[in-house]
């Protein structure tokens, strides 16, 4: 963090210094160029007086500080100090043309064999002739070199800026490194109050989540122990009575059926716990395949016909074929659990309707019954493991209390959403919304999720 703050601070300072340096030298360059132009104009005034008195002879006596050219009113060269063979006519140059019309002119162009940049100033004399003076831009560069000590000052300022930036970075980070998370409000830096508040808020959130997970773990352990103990107690009691010979011969077959029933219940419970454990670990073995939910629902309803007829419940399948990508065995388990609950918690003469529909973004499967419904205060928890709305009624109809949990976790495994709608006394509808082509639709999470 110190390195990042130092780098950013130093780069900001360096950028400002370089910008100031560029502006300074740019302004200085323009200033010196303007001063050179003023000097040429003044020299041209003096040279004009000498030319008017002595002609070209005066120009030959001048020190060669730059190029001097004298032309007639048409631009024909009368004198040129800068070239052994000057052009016969200089009227084509911008500064000469400007002097002819406006009395004076100025331009900068490359001239000479070396292509050196030269600043020219031309002035129209009293007799109509044109006097032009030129000075190399090297003089401007030399003037810039005269202020070169500023460069060394700039380097020194950059070094000092680096040192100060490093110290500032250390001072900024020091309060954070010295922060005591056990008693964060003991710090003396009010600027850190928002950070400390967020840390404390996150800490409390984590503690609440840990406590909630611990509570769920204990509830799960207690529920598993209870659910396992109940059939085991029955099996142990029946077996003990049979072993001691206190069971009459006519009752042995009945006790054996009870032992078999309780053992099957125990095996179903253990199997459901294993399924949930594998779903939690995402350790589902078979690979995904294309599954037609309409066809699968028909197979599930066929398997539930005997139980539905026994309870005088009518089964219906509506909709149309719709395919999703998933694990067939798990999808079958999910649909079976929903339909099985719809039959078990229905009323005599009621109905269960499974509807399958497909669209561009999702495939819907809904299971609606006309049963007893779920009270509002329980609807948020029915997908929890071992949660039962009416324990006495649930005990009568059987089940492990894990069916809807398997549905919820199976939906999460397939990237699907679960929706529950229930009206006490009027029935319940559970809808699964499967994404198509990986596009998960927005939907409410299952109650208790």
Confidence of residue 380 (pLDDT cuts 50, 70, 90): confident
Q: Please check whether residue 326 is in contact with residue 432, taking contact to mean a CB–CB distance below 8 angstroms.
A: no
268-292 pLDDT, tens digit per residue, is 667 766 665 665 555 555 577 888 9
Task: Determine the Cα–Cα distance for residues 149 and 12; give it in Å rounded to an integer.
Answer: 23
Confidence of residue 377 (pLDDT cuts 50, 70, 90): confident
Query: Which CATH number is correct for 204-278, 1.10.4000.10, 1.10.287.130, 3.30.70.2860, 3.40.50.2300?
Result: 1.10.287.130
CATH 3.40.50.170 is right for the domain spanning 287-435:
no
pLDDT attached to residue 144: 57
Q: Please check whether residue 175 is in contact with residue 189, taking contact to mean a CB–CB distance below 8 angstroms.
A: yes
403-422 pLDDT, tens digit per residue, is 788 888 888 888 899 999 98
Task: Determine the Cα–Cα distance for residues 330 and 313; give it in Å rounded to an integer.
Answer: 25
Kindly list the distances between the CA atom of residue 12 and the CA atoms of 6, 15, 298, 325, 372, in Å, as whole numbers in the listed order.
10, 5, 71, 55, 71
Smallest Cα–Cα separation from 315: which of 304, 323, 325, 324?
Answer: 304
Query: Which CATH number is correct for 2-145, 3.30.360.10, 3.30.70.870, 3.40.720.10, 3.30.450.20?
Result: 3.30.450.20
pLDDT attached to residue 243: 76
Domain boundaries, the chain: 2-145, 204-278, 287-435
pLDDT attached to residue 217: 65
Task: Determine the Cα–Cα distance for residues 381 and 374; give it in Å rounded to an integer.
Answer: 10
Confidence of residue 297 (pLDDT cuts 50, 70, 90): very high
Please check the confidence at residue 447 and state whether its pLDDT lies above 50: no
Task: Determine the Cα–Cα distance for residues 34 and 448; give it in Å rounded to an integer.
Answer: 82
Please check the confidence at residue 433 and state whether its pLDDT lies above 90: yes
Contacts of 128 (CB under 8 A, 6+ apart): 72, 73
Using CB atoms within 10 Å of the CB of residue 159, give its burial: 0 to 12 exposed, 13 to 18 middle, 19+ buried.
exposed
Sign of the CA dihedral with 434 first, then 437, 442, and 447 last: positive
pLDDT attached to residue 429: 92
pLDDT attached to residue 2: 65
Beta-ladder partners of 355: 318, 366
pLDDT attached to residue 49: 86
Task: Determine the Cα–Cα distance for residues 274 and 406; give it in Å rounded to an integer.
Answer: 10
């Amino acid at each position: 963090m110190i390195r990042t703050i130092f780098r950013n601070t130093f780069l900001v300072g360096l950028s400002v210094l370089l910008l100031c340096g560029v502006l300074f030298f740019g302004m200085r360059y323009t200033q010196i160029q303007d001063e050179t132009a003023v000097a040429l104009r003044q020299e041209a005034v003096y040279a004009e007086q000498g030319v008017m008195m002595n002609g070209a002879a005066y120009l030959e006596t001048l020190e060669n500080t730059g190029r001097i050219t004298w032309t007639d009113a048409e631009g024909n060269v009368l004198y040129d100090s800068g070239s052994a063979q000057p052009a016969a006519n200089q009227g084509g140059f911008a500064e000469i043309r400007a002097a002819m019309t406006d009395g004076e002119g100025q331009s900068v162009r490359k001239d000479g064999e070396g292509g050196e940049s030269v600043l020219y100033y031309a002035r129209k004399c009293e007799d109509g002739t044109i006097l032009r003076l030129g000075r190399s831009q090297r003089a401007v560069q030399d003037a810039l070199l005269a202020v070169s000590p500023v460069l060394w000052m700039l380097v020194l300022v950059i070094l000092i800026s680096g040192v100060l930036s490093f110290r500032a970075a250390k001072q900024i980070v020091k309060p954070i490194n010295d922060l005591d998370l056990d008693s964060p409000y003991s710090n003396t830096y009010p600027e850190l109050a928002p950070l400390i508040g967020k840390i404390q808020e996150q800490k409390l959130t984590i503690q609440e989540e840990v406590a909630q997970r611990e509570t769920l773990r204990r509830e799960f352990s207690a529920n598993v122990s209870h659910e396992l103990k109940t059939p085991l107690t029955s099996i142990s009691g029946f077996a003990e009575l049979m072993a001691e010979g206190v069971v009459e011969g006519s009752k042995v077959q009945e006790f054996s059926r009870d032992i078999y029933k309780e053992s099957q219940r125990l095996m179903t419970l253990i199997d459901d716990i294993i399924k949930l454990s594998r779903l939690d670990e995402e350790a589902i073995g078979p690979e995904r395949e294309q599954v037609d939910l309409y066809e699968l629902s028909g197979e599930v309803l066929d398997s539930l016909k005997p139980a539905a007829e026994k309870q005088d419940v009518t089964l219906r399948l509506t909709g149309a074929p719709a395919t999703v990508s998933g694990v067939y065995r798990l999808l079958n388990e999910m649909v079976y659990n929903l339909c099985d609950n719809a039959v078990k918690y229905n009323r005599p003469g009621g109905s269960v309707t499974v509807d399958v529909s497909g669209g561009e973004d999702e495939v819907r499967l809904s299971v609606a019954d006309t049963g007893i419904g779920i009270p509002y205060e329980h609807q948020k928890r029915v997908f929890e493991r071992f949660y039962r709305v009416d324990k006495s009624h649930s005990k009568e109809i059987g089940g492990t209390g894990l069916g809807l949990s398997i549905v919820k976790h199976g939906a999460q495994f397939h990237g699907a959403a679960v929706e529950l709608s229930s009206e006490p006394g009027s029935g319940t509808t559970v809808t699964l919304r499967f994404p198509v082509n990986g596009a998960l639709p927005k939907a409410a999470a299952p109650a208790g999720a």
